[in-house]
Amino acid sequence: EISFFFPPEDTLAVIKPDTQHKEEILEEIQAQGFTISQLKDTILSREMAEEFYKEHREKPFFSQLVDYMCRGPCTMLVLTKENAVQEWRAAMGPTDPDQARLTAPESLRARFAKDVLENAVHGSSNTEHADQKIKFIFGDIGEIIPDTASPPLET
């Protein structure tokens, strides 16, 4: 009998500013079996937000996106699980909540996003981005918060 071992993978998740649903999002993260390996609340500077979303520099919504991302504290999380990158993308659902409500009604964006811009959560789109963004946000040796049952940090 052949069995496969899938090593745990890390992804970067962000609970974006101004969502009224942070607690429910954290509950869903735990319900879906992600381990919260690192967590911190941070207000991004404009420069950091621009760097974070630099892939979208040329998009018409870029300046609005940067305004949104540095408007208040973001909750930054490293989520660890088998296939974490893909599973967190699936948990979030499509970028636009109108589409999410049609194709993934249980997803976080279907439930909690306000619109296509203010869509509550971010997730890395591949493992290379995940590694790069985790380093960018947490540094090479980030703070470790070992007890996932502890309450989220408040800023």
Pick out the residues of the known binding site: 16, 61, 89, 95, 109, 119
CA dist., res. 132 & res. 128, Å (int): 6
Kindly name the residue from 21, 56, 122, 129 that is annotated as catalytic: 122
**Nearest approach, Cβ of residue 39 and ligand RTP (Å):** 18
Identity of the residue, 103 or 150, whose beta carbon is nearer to ligand RTP in the bound complex: 103
CA dist., res. 12 & res. 84, Å (int): 9
Identity of the residue, 39 or 104, whose beta carbon is nearer to ligand RTP in the bound complex: 104
Query: CB-based contacts of 133: which residues, under 8 Å, 6+ apart?
Result: 12, 52, 124
Tracing tokens 């919260």 back to the chain, one arrives at 36
**Nearest approach, Cβ of residue 93 and ligand RTP (Å):** 9
136: its two tokens: 């960018």
Identity of the residue, 56 or 135, whose beta carbon is nearer to ligand RTP in the bound complex: 56
Binding residues for ATP: 16, 61, 89, 95, 109, 119
**Nearest approach, Cβ of residue 65 and ligand RTP (Å):** 5
Q: Catalytic site residue 122?
A: yes
Where do contacts with ligand RTP occur on this chain (CB under 6 A)?
Answer: 56, 61, 65, 95, 116-117, 119, 122-123, 125
Give me the active site residues, please. Answer: 122
